[in-house]
Amino acid sequence: MSFPVPHRTQTLIRHWWETVENAVTRLLARHAPAEDAAEGAEPLRMTRMEAWALRTAIGIFEALVRRMLVIMCAEHGPMSPLPEGTNLLFRIDECPPVPVIRRAAAADPDHAFMPPPAGQLPRDRSTDGLVSAEPLLKRLAALADVFAHGDLYLQAMSARLHAPLKPLLAPQPKAFTDQVLTPEQAGNMQHLHEVALQAQACDTS
């Protein structure tokens, strides 16, 4: 049995899929290093404000893509399994497929107050008022991989929907309530979230 997707949702998915794909392509073209860049060159750096804006956009894109994948998979119904050994760059879920048993804290009650081990500063630690763009570029590349290999991600999500824990968290993602969104955009994203929760709860086996 497939999940019946409302007409409004279908329209939003067509709009947002194309919109996010185009935005990711533009952002990568603007920020990613040139293909002929020298090997070992310093990673791209940007101001904190630029990084904040890019991080905000990516957070919205990632949440949208996950919900669209869930809805499309539920509408399609069961799919063939993902080819063995397929490497996907984008994480399709927001929570693990099975419950996680967290380890107890260190035996030393003062472990939280111990200084970190000596070593070099992380690559994205600011030393000149700028931050590394590398983590954000990796997330953009992962999103681009979804649009380049959409069928594989649909197969992966189809299998993921049958795991003990569903892929999406019930609370609406904070990205969908960000102040950069217009009321109409926020309302449409909330609608997608609500339909996606219904879709992942639907038995499509």
| Residue 120 confidence (pLDDT) | 47
pTM of the model: 0.83
Q: How far apart are the first and last CA of the chain?
A: 6
Q: Give the pLDDT score at 84.
A: 87
How far apart CA 3 and CA 103 sit, in angstroms, is 38
| Residue 103: per-residue pLDDT | 58
Residue 116 has pLDDT above 90, yes or no: no
Confidence band, pLDDT 50/70/90 cuts, at residue 121: very low
> Is residue 120 within 8 Å of 187, Cβ to Cβ?
no
Q: What is the pLDDT of residues 11-52, one digit of tens each?
A: 999 999 999 999 999 999 998 876 655 455 566 889 999 999
The 10s digit of each residue's pLDDT in 135-180 is 999 999 999 999 999 999 999 999 999 888 899 999 999 999 999 9
For residue 190, pLDDT beyond 70: yes
Residue 119 confidence (pLDDT): 47
The string of pLDDT tens digits covering residues 55-94 is 999 999 999 999 999 999 999 988 998 988 899 999 999 9
